[in-house]
Structure 1
């Protein structure tokens, strides 16, 4: 491909707040869909910040991504093993996300919200001197003991934000929940469907660059090949 084609694709991806689909890239640059798909994945990988460690006050949360199927029908495009069951038995992909307040973000797919699964990712992403902020999920209790401070908000009791004069920061997960909402809007509004097989790529592709005020947030995925 000519070098100007790469530059135009980089511009379109970098300036789209919720991402741009390969079909749109194909139509606007006059290239085939397969070429556009190849191009988009390479550019998203180029934007990844693999060496970043989240510091300061970091909010961590898990979310489930996927549309609603009629009568709980199985997808014909994914095998049953690629469709983990989310909470309530819904077949949605779980994504674990972590966001620095006024800083960067990381996310990756997961199959369960168990303590062991979450701990391995959180310990890899976060600096050990960071302040962890989460909701009331029991899996975070043991994880939070490994950090200097762990602030929790109890959503089941209608608590969304809490100011404690003895705490190092205000307890809330608004930043990470806004980040998760942006991922969902990008997938449902831009791509409409994605293969769980390539979920890490698509989560990264959907929100590799989110501008929040004057701060640019990047999303990082693990084990992304080619």
Structure 2
């Protein structure tokens, strides 16, 4: 019987022990190589683009020869105004990608010996970097569409006589949101948070190539897909797959996101649901990539991202 990828040696190419053994200088070199790949890690001024700079070695900063602007390897990126060492940042990324169903900010704060606030903001900055993969993405080929509701927990009443069916819409808090995912078979995925599955479906269908084949369940709001795409439908009350039509890949995405919500984070607030959906999409798309490869992808995306307008100075409001 074939061994699962996550159990194989190919899935483990980078460990925390290796990160801490490499030291601060080697970790700093990794950041430089990924920030300035075109110049082999040599600094490029983010203000004027000049490639000549004075090295301020005592502070690991640079001073541009042309405009005299001082900058570091993380200036203008997700990690701007960082306080953690480069080794700790690299270790945080490894810890983050090692969680197949995500990792809580509390656990990261304990692993890195930092405040919970630090781990919370750092985790969301990494999710923001992960979301770069979805920018301008167009799905094609065999695409599965589906939606599922998250958030808005309703606490059951104490006495049995006062309890009601929490599945009924009349008993919802109004905070539940739907995550609609479009997922290529054997390819990439795109997740969108909306107030209704119909609205999310409209947004997703706008990012699907017109020559694609779409699979969906028999909910009425998917009827419009027949006018745009070659569409197959599956009735889940009869079967999950009829040999052609199925949405099992979309359900796999929801299974991961549901486990993240219930088992790891326990609660996902509405304004942050899109960030967690992007994280689940990244983990699903790269589930066959080694942890070292995933860490490199996240770090490369983080160094290519601009300073976060949502999370920079989050606790200072």
TM over 0.5: yes
Query: How many Å apart are 1:111 and its aligned residue?
Result: 0.7
Distance in structure 2 (CA, Å) of the matches to 1:55 and 1:87:
36
> Aligned in 2, Cα 1:191/1:51: closer, same or farther, shift over 3 Å?
same
1:59 aligns with 2:141: no
Match runs of 1:81-100 below 5 Å: 88-89=169-170, 90-91=172-173, 92-100=176-184
Judge conservation of contact 1:23–1:36 (CA < 8 Å) in 2. yes
- Matched pairs, number: 199
Q: Does 1:185 align with 2:185?
A: no
Q: TM-score, normalised by structure 2?
A: 0.57
User: TM-score, normalised to structure 1's length?
Assistant: 0.78
Match of 2:210 among 104, 115, 128: 128
CA distance in 2, matches of 1:144, 1:9: 45
Question: For the residues of structure 1 that align with 2:202 and 2:274, how far apart are their CA atoms?
Answer: 17
User: Are 1:41 and 1:205, in contact at CA under 8 Å, matched by a contact in 2?
Assistant: no
Bigger strand fraction? 1
Deviation at 1:225, TM superposition (A): 5.9
Deviations 1:35-54 (A, max 9, x none): 11111111111122123221
Secondary structure of the equivalent of 1:17?
Answer: coil
Q: Does 1:19 align with 2:102?
A: yes
Distance verdict in 2 for CA 1:141–1:182, change over 3 Å: same
What is the rounded CA distance, in whole Å, between the counterparts of 1:99 and 1:176 in structure 2?
6
Q: How many angstroms apart in 1 are the aligned matches of 2:97 and 2:148?
A: 25
CA distance in 1, matches of 2:92, 2:181: 27
Match of 2:91 in 1: 8
Residue segments in structure 1 that go unaligned for 5+ positions in a row: 73-84, 164-169, 219-223
Contact 1:5–1:29 at 8 Å: present in 2 too? yes
Pick closer, same or farther for the CA change 1:86–1:64 going to 2, 3 Å. Answer: farther
* CA-CA distance at 1:59 after TM superposition: 0.4
Structure 1 residue 160, shift from structure 2 partner: 1.8
User: 2:130 is matched with which residue?
Assistant: 47
**1:49-198 mapped onto 2 (5 Å cutoff):** 49=133, 50-66=135-151, 67-71=153-157, 88-89=169-170, 90-91=172-173, 92-114=176-198, 117-147=199-229, 149-156=230-237, 158-163=238-243, 170-198=244-272
Query: Structure 1 residues 213 and 202 mapped into 2: Cα distance closer, same or farther (>3 Å)?
Result: closer
Supply the distance in 2 between the matched residues of 1:28 and 1:44 (Cα, whole angstroms): 19
Equivalent-residue separation in structure 2 for 1:145 and 1:124 (angstroms):
13
Alpha-carbon shift at residue 12 of structure 1 (Å): 1.2
Gapped runs of 5+ residues in structure 2?
1-83, 159-165, 298-307, 311-317
Could you tell me how far apart the structure 2 residues matched to 1:111 and 1:104 are? 24
Would the alpha carbon gap of residues 28 and 207 (structure 1) be closer, same or farther in structure 2, given more than 3 Å must change? farther
Distance (Å, rounded) in 1 between the aligned partners of 2:246 and 2:309: 35
Aligned-pair distance for 1:190? 0.4
Partner SS for 2:119: helix
Which structure's CA Rg is the greater one? 2
